[in-house]
Amino acid sequence: MKFHLMLILIFACNIVFSQKKIDSLLDIVINTSMISLSDTDEQVDFLNTIYIADQEIREEWLLADEQLEKKSKEYNVFWKKLRLTDSILFSKTKEYLDVFKNPNIKHGDMACYTPQLIFHHASAANFPNLIEMKMNYFPMFYEAYRNNIIEENAIWFYLFRLYQQVKKQTYTNYELGDEEQIEEMIDLLHLKRN
């Protein structure tokens, strides 16, 4: 019993520390104006902050998912925090893309990977027209993939999730290679490539 209480206490302390870190990262993201991102280094810092916030909330979520009762009040608080964080990160990433377009090689791997990852994690519960937005921004991500700015597995997973959201079923044509699957999902979803 003491061991169990000790684990709960350690878990709670870790959550408080992690929550403060996430809140600090979100404050930076929320308060960053696109006008202030005047050079590549500032853009990289902004996108990397978004990426880190995204991953921190997911690490916290995994802990909560393992430790908390699924129907508990605490679990519901974590779920809402995850969705709120995703919503903030999506809105600011969309704002970034509207001003600067997708990052390029000079921004580095993490910054290049971030926009499609954030779009991938966004929830339709927060954005009723999310599928339309994902489809509209897809040509930008596809171009980044074709120019080796983002990896094949990233665009595949983006399309795989989008396929599930649009078709209400899982894509299953695994006989094709990854590149062929990507092209087939694009065709099945009637997405524009440019």
Q: Over the stretch 2-45, which tens digit does the pLDDT of each residue have?
A: 433 343 434 444 444 467 888 888 888 999 999 999 999 999 99
Spell out the SS3 assignment of the chain. CHHHHHHHHHHHHHHHHHHHHHHHHHHHHHCCCHHHCCCHHHHHHHHHHHHHHHHHHHHHHHHHHHHCCCCCHHHHHHHHHHHHHHHHHHHHHHHHHHHHCCCCHHHCHHHHHHHHHHHHHCCCCCCCCHHHHHHHHHHHHHHHHHCCCCCHHHHHHHHHHHHHHHHCCCCCCCCCCHHHHHHHHHHHCCCCCC
As a whole number, the mean pLDDT across the chain is 87
Q: What span, in angstroms and rounded, lies between the C-alpha atoms of 119 and 137? A: 9
Q: What span, in angstroms and rounded, lies between the C-alpha atoms of 50 and 26? A: 8
What residue ranges do the domains of the chain occupy? 14-29+38-188
Query: pLDDT tens, 160-169?
Result: 999 999 999 9
Q: What span, in angstroms and rounded, lies between the C-alpha atoms of 185 and 171? A: 8
Query: pLDDT tens, 40-86?
Result: 999 999 999 999 999 999 998 888 878 888 888 888 888 889 999 99
Query: pLDDT tens, 94-146?
Result: 999 999 999 999 999 999 999 999 999 998 877 889 999 999 999 999 999 99
Q: Rounded to two decimals, what is the model's pTM?
A: 0.86
Tell which wins on pLDDT, 190 or 13: 190
